[in-house]
């Protein structure tokens, strides 16, 4: 198979509509100012324009798998949630337990409607005087409107603080060593599925550093002021990190079987159908959509689920509709793919009872086989 990128960054007609966004990320702007021209055209992703590749896609992905790669996270944004009722109120809006977070701790959550459908996803952190919600910029307008609708008699303030700060990602088995070499003392291993946030400085640049969720390849988010991102980028490159584009970062996401909201999961789906149990807390008390989530849990009725597949041929386009021999109903769809070591992997939602019974499904021109062992399992064992 060719190392093409057309199916690595997913597209889907089910993606939630959002306001058109054409602004380059702070890093893309800084790199553009620093050189006569950027090496490639910018590409829109999750609400911002960024660099799709810096060199060769397969080499950039190898950096994530074998070394350390630094990439643009300028498509991520932050919402500050403040005032006296912030903890109780946000706990009632998210599927995970915000009320139990210690200062500097965080977790991953879904935002649901009353019917239990997923309206978005986010990381939420508890800080000294506010809560911090981090999500893709493409989700911020809709989530902010949804949040504001449910601030009724609550003392809660919301502020989109994305315009003044941006983020870089650092991922790979050597990423922790590179941060240590830059003088960063990382927190001790956190509780599974718990995130952490700390304030630090890297070569004099104030950085808000997050990490913690255990994936096959260790990864961190480094938040800084827009005007500092070019310097921070240069420091990480000098430390040995390989510059990587959003296509390589997306490929790593697919290999980790992590869904992207708006592509792999949308408002068509219920939380348990995403296979992201880390987003759910079943003992936290009431929240919007909880009744549906609890009903699914008590009945064990999950009719479809997110799964990873290997594809026998290059798909012509995404989404890729899956069918099963002898079945007239749709079996599922592949919405993201990535090429790794000559194999094309796909990520999508399929009917659970069908793939349990028949782990090979058909698509136009090929077959999709259920993955039972992560393609990055060896890496996970080395970094655990």
pLDDT at 19: 43
The listed CATH number (1.10.10.10, 3.60.150.10, 2.40.50.180, 3.30.1360.120) that belongs to domain 26-76+163-255: 3.30.1360.120
CB-CB neighbours of 34 under 10 Å: 11
The pLDDT confidence band at residue 6, using thresholds 50, 70 and 90, is very low
Tokens of 62: 């190898």
Tokens 């005007």 map to which residue?
227
User: Among 263-267, 350-354, 380-384, whose mean pLDDT is lowest?
Assistant: 380-384
User: Among 8-12, 71-75, 91-95, 254-258, whose mean pLDDT is lowest?
Assistant: 8-12
CA distance 294 to 240: 47
pLDDT at 37: 64
- Output phi, psi for 297, to 5 deg: -65, -45
Strand order in the sheet with 332-340: 320-322, 332-340, 343-351, 304-311, 366-370, 360-363
pLDDT at 301: 82
* Largest distance between two CA atoms of the chain: 63
- CATH topology agreement for domains 26-76+163-255 and 303-383: no
- Residue 214 predicted with pLDDT over 80: no
The pLDDT confidence band at residue 270, using thresholds 50, 70 and 90, is very high
What Å distances lie between residue 245 and 28, 119, 163, 170, CA to CA? 11, 27, 22, 12
pLDDT at 7: 40
What Å distances lie between residue 47 and 21, 24, 27, 370, CA to CA? 6, 9, 14, 31
Model-wide pTM > 0.85: yes
CA distance 309 to 370: 4
What Å distances lie between residue 195 and 19, 125, 221, 225, 310, CA to CA? 30, 8, 11, 22, 30
Strands (E), the chain: 43-45, 48-50, 69-72, 76-82, 105-112, 118-126, 131-136, 157-160, 165-171, 195-202, 205-211, 219-225, 242-244, 304-311, 320-322, 332-340, 343-351, 360-363, 366-370
Tokens of 72: 């643009």
The pLDDT confidence band at residue 39, using thresholds 50, 70 and 90, is low
The mean pLDDT value for 261-265 works out to 97
Task: Check if the beta carbon of residue 348 is closer than 8 Å to that of residue 365.
Answer: no
The pLDDT confidence band at residue 326, using thresholds 50, 70 and 90, is confident
Q: Could you give the percent of the chain with pLDDT greater than 90?
A: 80
Strands (E), 127-268: 131-136, 157-160, 165-171, 195-202, 205-211, 219-225, 242-244
The pLDDT confidence band at residue 215, using thresholds 50, 70 and 90, is confident
What Å distances lie between residue 141 and 54, 120, 126, 138, CA to CA? 30, 11, 22, 7
Residues in the chain: 384
Task: Check if the beta carbon of residue 11 is closer than 8 Å to that of residue 263.
Answer: yes
pLDDT at 21: 47
Task: Check if the beta carbon of residue 374 is closer than 8 Å to that of residue 340.
Answer: no
The pLDDT confidence band at residue 239, using thresholds 50, 70 and 90, is very high
- Residue 14 predicted with pLDDT over 90: no
CATH class of 303-383: mainly beta
CB-CB neighbours of 209 under 10 Å: 21
User: Among 19-23, 135-139, 334-338, whose mean pLDDT is lowest?
Assistant: 19-23
pLDDT at 15: 40
The mean pLDDT value for 362-382 works out to 83
CA distance 221 to 237: 15
Q: What is the pLDDT of residues 103-137, one digit of tens each?
A: 999 999 999 999 999 999 999 999 999 999 999 99
222-255 burial: b if 16+ Cβ within 10 Å, else e? bbbebebbbebbebbeebebbbbbbbbbbbbbbb
- Residue 345 predicted with pLDDT over 90: yes
Domain positions in the chain: 26-76+163-255, 303-383
pLDDT at 13: 41
């Amino acid at each position: 198979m060719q190392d093409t990128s057309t199916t690595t960054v997913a597209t889907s007609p089910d993606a939630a509509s959002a306001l058109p966004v054409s602004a380059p990320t702070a890093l893309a702007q800084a790199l553009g100012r620093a050189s006569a021209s950027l090496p490639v055209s910018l590409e829109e992703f999750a609400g911002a324009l960024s660099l799709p590749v810096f060199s060769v896609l397969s080499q950039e992905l190898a950096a994530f798998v074998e070394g350390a790669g630094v990439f643009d996270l300028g498509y991520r944004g932050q919402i500050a949630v403040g005032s006296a009722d912030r903890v109780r109120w946000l706990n009632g809006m998210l599927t995970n337990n915000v009320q139990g977070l210690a200062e500097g701790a965080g977790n991953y959550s879904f935002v649901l409607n009353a019917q239990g459908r997923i309206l978005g996803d986010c990381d939420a952190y508890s800080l000294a005087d506010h809560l911090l919600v981090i999500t893709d910029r493409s989700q911020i307008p809709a989530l902010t409107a949804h949040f504001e609708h449910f601030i009724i008699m609550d003392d809660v303030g919301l502020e989109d603080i994305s315009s003044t700060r941006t983020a870089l990602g650092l991922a790979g088995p050597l990423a922790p060593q590179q941060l240590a070499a830059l003088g960063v003392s990382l927190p001790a291993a956190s509780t599974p599925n718990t995130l952490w946030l700390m304030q630090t400085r890297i070569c004099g640049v104030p950085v808000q550093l997050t990490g913690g969720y255990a994936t096959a390849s260790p990864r961190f988010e480094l938040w800084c002021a827009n005007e500092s991102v070019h310097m921070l980028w240069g420091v990480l490159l000098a430390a040995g990190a390989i510059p990587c584009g959003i296509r390589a970062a997306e490929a790593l996401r697919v290999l980790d079987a992590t869904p992207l909201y708006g592509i792999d999961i949308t408002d068509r789906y219920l939380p348990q159908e995403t296979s992201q149990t880390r987003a759910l807390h079943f003992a936290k008390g009431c929240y919007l959509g909880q009744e549906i989530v609890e009903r699914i849990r008590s009945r064990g009725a999950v009719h479809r689920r997110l799964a990873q597949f290997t594809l026998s041929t290059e798909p012509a386009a995404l989404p890729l509709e899956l069918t099963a021999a002898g079945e007239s109903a749709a079996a599922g769809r592949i919405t993201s793919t990535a090429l790794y070591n000559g194999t094309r992997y796909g990520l999508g939602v399929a009917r659970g009872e069908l793939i349990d019974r028949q782990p090979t499904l058909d698509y136009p021109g090929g077959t999709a086989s259920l993955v039972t062992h992560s393609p990055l399992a060896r890496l996970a064992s080395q970094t655990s």
